[in-house]
Structure 1
Amino acid sequence: MLALPGQVRVVQADRGDVVRPGGQAQLAQPGRVDHCGRAAHVTGPAPGEYGPYRRVGRRLRAAQQKVAIASSAKSNESMKAGAFSDNTVQVYEGLRGNKLTAAQKKKLLGIVEAFAGRAKADAAKVRMAEVSKHLADTYVTWAGGIEDDSAFYVRVHSPVVWVEVDCQAPGPLAGAYGASQGDGATQKHVHSIIRTPNGNDYGKELLRQHYLTSPHHQ
């Protein structure tokens, strides 16, 4: 399989690894739309839709929040490994998994499972087992508020998985939200992504590697 154009390469500066996040990008804008004749308006996310993500921030103790929460303010866009982020340098940041209680670890795994669980059951089981194996080396980072209606950003970053959930400003869809272009981040406009660090999930250029490594091509 040849590598697709536009692949993202995130370098973990503290390890020097090249991380090629790929895989699944998700977009929510908005959570639900009610149709009124020819018009549509946003009624907000489905109840409990963001529960697995918010619960991580809310279940942290005060001392843990000081480490995990990078900022109590939420910018219009916080995503690190989205579009146009090739060769981003991103060190591990936030609260490490080995500092979490058993209950908190379960909540953290719930974020990943919300994405990995979309795969077939056997594939999801293998993926979650891999993530669990590296839980002690997993970091969670938070920005924004932790209330039910707060805009937030959460990132889960480990040697085997990268997940981001980012409430963003409404942008060109502001009218559908009953908002204005200049309004800040909202739960009604959420981008999220799951990637595989070091996993080459965009595929390898096998023919090129063959030419570079095979003696009869030297």
Structure 2
Amino acid sequence: MKKIIAGVEIPDDAMAQAATDLIRSTESELMFHHALRAFLFGALAARRDNLTFDTQLLYISSMFHNVGLNAKYQRSPFRFEVDGANAARDFLRQHGVDEGKIAEVWVGIALHTTPGISEHLSALVSLISAGVQMDVRGERYDDFTAHQRDEIVQAYPRESGFKKKLIEAYARGMVHRPETTFGTVNADVLDRYDPNYRRLNFCGLILGSEWPN
């Protein structure tokens, strides 16, 4: 039987199920439920804004968008978003997805924490960010009905203390690679979490460069 939440059908084809099984087995319940809610809010945002998108790819993207925070990437030199995008790309290639579509997923995941860019790209890229940002910081919260929000949270709960626990999960995934937060909202996470963290300053980098003037 198809599972429908807030009027949105959860993909249950073989590839979607493989992604679900993988993420469920490698991420905490907090992050797994966040991924599901992000998909649902993204799909509802598409309906609200009359956007045409690939439901299956939005689902896969939502599943993988925070994979780069996992312990597997503790030695990674990349932004966690890039690690997640790379993991999604590998997964989609294993399932024979078209390279053009894979590239779109990669960009959507890589940019999902970068404000002001995704909404100017494709529908899929914009919806990946829209779904995540709604669940994380309530972006356009009132554009969703109370019934939609309640049904989604009832199906995939925001556990007690979700906000602080999410920030901690982000921080744990980045504290070993603080340089990757430069120029992104991730710098705010480490600034709150790690008392030893010092932000890079763009103006300081310019003025302190090797150029004589």
Q: TM-score range by the shorter chain?
A: under 0.3
Q: Which structure has the highest helix share of the two?
A: 2
> Which structure has greater strand proportion?
1
Query: Structure 1-normalised TM-score?
Result: 0.25
Which is higher, the Rg of structure 1 or of structure 2? 1
Q: TM-score, normalised by structure 2?
A: 0.26
